[in-house]
Structure 1
Amino acid sequence: MRRYTRTLVTAALTTTVVAGTAGWASGSAQQAVTGAPVGAEAWRADGLPDAERMTPSQVAAYFDGLTLDRQQALVRTHPSVVGNLDGAPLRLRYEANARTLGGRYAGQQVLAFDPRGRGQVALVSGDLTTAEHVAVIVPGSDIDAGNITPLTDKAEALRRATHGRTAVIAWAGYTTPVGVGLDAATGNLAEVGAERLTRLTDGLAATGVPAPSLFCHSYGSVVCGLAAHDLKAKDLVVFGSPGMRAANVAELRTSARVWAAKDPSDWIDNVPNVAFAGLGHGADPTAPAFGARRVPAADAPGHDGYFVAGTQSLRTFAAIAALPEGGAR
């Protein structure tokens, strides 16, 4: 009887979460991309250290011990590995990815590119080595290497709002859900994404980049919630969030400031904040009991409008990006 009841509750929850609002649509199941970068076998065959086992700080130390000529040789012979090694010098990663991609994303600084699956990419707006502040935008469903413009538009909007003082990474660095189906109602893709996001922030720290503010949209806030306790970040800002897989800020176990925004017209408000049998993502981060700082967003249009020019949310995002690390909480 208990098993039968659990099955009924799970089925009901699935129906509610996936089909309970017009904003949610069907989505196909995705296989998360994991493992070492493309070309890692050839890298290892040349007697180079295992790219999958090195931490970003170890990667940084390894490259620091190489001559400039040797660094350039690795870019020429193993561009797909160098371009995706968190902790490697930024200039080498940009150069390596430019070699791999040819004219694709021409004129843009490509911090990472993985062609597997639907493709993953991280594009940088601004100079990470000289900017006063750094921000990373973590997207939700449907963003990938072939559909990156919605994310880069947000990055450019944030950079303009900070008057160019913040370098912004448009990070499509994990396998996102397609549509808003069962993948978006579970944490499977977010768990892999959390590992990748953690390596990103570790890599930035290893190369001397200031601790970033993370702006996590929709399902991206699930990624940020699962990664929170390991992230080297000064702020976690979630918006249009279905939940962070935590009951409150304390459960995130982060020293970062936590902020949350949701505008009144966002359809995510119709998604039940539940978590049962692996489905749903828990508490609403904008609820007072969650304990996040509330970002005003009354004039943001819909689920995807938080970076629209002139909105309260974008102005506040820019102000958060400019906050000092370890400042007032």
Structure 2
Amino acid sequence: MRRFGRTIVTAALAVAVVAGTAGWAVGDSRPAVTGPPPGSAAWRAGSVGGRPLPDPRAASPREVARFFAGLDGSARRELLRAHPLVVGNLEGAPLPLRYEANRTAVLATGEARYASLAGPGRQILAFDPRGRGLVAEVFGDLEEAAHVSVIVPGSDNDAAAHDARRTPHTGPAGMARALRDAAGGSTAVVAWTGYTTPVGVGPDAAGGRLAEAGAARLARFTAGLDAVDAPDPVLFCHSYGSVVCGLAARHTDATDVVVLGSPGMRADRAAALGTRARVWAARGPSDWIADVPHVRFAGLGHGADPASPAFGARPVPASDVRGHTGYFAPGTRSLAAFAAIAKGEVR
């Protein structure tokens, strides 16, 4: 009976899994953005030069890449003008075309909260205004990069918050800029808020529903990178983003999966992730994520602690990291280690 009581208490504590950056505020449940981008029905009904267009839901990124390779510049621009939301979010489409399509799509929304995303020099690789909005931005030259990293963030991130004022080196864009600066010009970094993240603390943060939807989107995103001949990526997964990466790992070609401030990866050990990627884990001494119960019960909680030796991840030094969001602060041992991993310097 005592053991049952402890189990119930542990299950109750699992509800308090905090997987984001907004503190202890209660969060609401949110529907996940899934499926092909807005405008896909009109796209499927269209054609270019008498050729049918690849189905955004069914065509693989490789098939999409081959389709665009067979089009001349005028045909590509015709599709961009008619279907900017589809072209901008279509994995396997040429990168410069996606940047231009997303600039067009952002401006077409007419919403002030997104306007900065269309600014000069921005390389917006994905933009979807559904729900709270999804966005991915490239820092560096993804077409010429020798190394590619992808930042997968945790809770309370969306397209509207992408350019919000934050403490420097936090948030997806801040982390990506810091990593790119530390790793150097041969590395491109993508800030990928390509899934619906939890808001605050609640069933979404403690459960795996949004992570499962996010994992499918992350796997397709990495397949899109492969389709345009980008290097195999390193995934840097913060907080609830590490739950997404844990579920997606076996379906990506990532060389490394680095989790930081992780509540768990929905696996008992690194070997159970089913990936050939090297798995790394970092947790700073003052990160409150250490107080989150590493359990799974009745669908709540995310399992074993990736930072524990028993999990089997490679440790990343983080003794000088402050709080839950300080892992990319310049001068920290963690950022130096991240840069070395991103550049493939650690064997």
CA drift of 1:165 comes to 2.5
Task: Give the number of equivalent residue pairs.
Answer: 322
Aligned to 1:254: 275
Q: 1:210 aligns with which of 211, 231, 234?
A: 231
Structure 1: which 5+ residue stretches go unaligned?
A: none
Cα deviation code 1:187-244 (max 9, x no counterpart): 0000000000001100000000001111000000000000010112111000000000
Query: Helix, strand or coil: the match of 2:159?
Result: coil
Aligned to 1:193: 214
- Checking the alignment, whether the CA contact within 8 Å between 1:23 and 1:267 is kept in structure 2 is no
Aligned to 1:179: 200
TM-score (norm 1): 0.93
- Checking the alignment, whether the CA contact within 8 Å between 2:17 and 2:263 is kept in structure 1 is no
Task: Work out whether 1:155 is the aligned partner of 2:151.
Answer: no
Q: Do the aligned partners of residues 214 and 49 (structure 1) sit closer, same or farther apart at CA in structure 2, a change above 3 Å counting?
A: same
Aligned to 2:69: 64
- Checking the alignment, whether the CA contact within 8 Å between 1:144 and 1:175 is kept in structure 2 is yes
CA drift of 1:25 comes to 3.2
Aligned to 2:167: none
Q: Do the aligned partners of residues 73 and 244 (structure 1) sit closer, same or farther apart at CA in structure 2, a change above 3 Å counting?
A: same
Aligned to 1:300: 321
Aligned to 2:36: 36
Query: Helix, strand or coil: the match of 1:104?
Result: helix
- Checking the alignment, whether the CA contact within 8 Å between 2:320 and 2:332 is kept in structure 1 is yes
Cα distance in 1 between the residues matched to 2:299 and 2:205:
11
CA drift of 1:35 comes to 1.1
TM-score (norm 2): 0.89
Cα distance in 2 between the residues matched to 1:24 and 1:185:
13
Aligned to 2:50: none
- Checking the alignment, whether the CA contact within 8 Å between 2:16 and 2:206 is kept in structure 1 is no
Query: Helix, strand or coil: the match of 1:83?
Result: helix
CA drift of 1:12 comes to 3.6
Read off the aligned partner of 1:293 and give its amino acid letter: R
Q: Which moved more, 1:81-90 or 1:101-110?
A: 101-110
- Checking the alignment, whether the CA contact within 8 Å between 1:18 and 1:25 is kept in structure 2 is no
Equivalences for residues 85-100 of structure 1 within 5 A: 85-100=90-105
Structure 2: which 5+ residue stretches go unaligned?
A: 48-52, 108-114, 164-170
- Checking the alignment, whether the CA contact within 8 Å between 2:17 and 2:201 is kept in structure 1 is no
Aligned to 2:266: 245
Cα distance in 2 between the residues matched to 1:173 and 1:128:
17
Read off the aligned partner of 1:104 and give its amino acid letter: S
- Checking the alignment, whether the CA contact within 8 Å between 2:140 and 2:185 is kept in structure 1 is yes
Equivalences for residues 252-291 of structure 1 within 5 A: 252-291=273-312
Read off the aligned partner of 1:282 and give its amino acid letter: G
List structure 1 runs of 4+ shifted beyond 2 angstroms: 8-15, 17-25
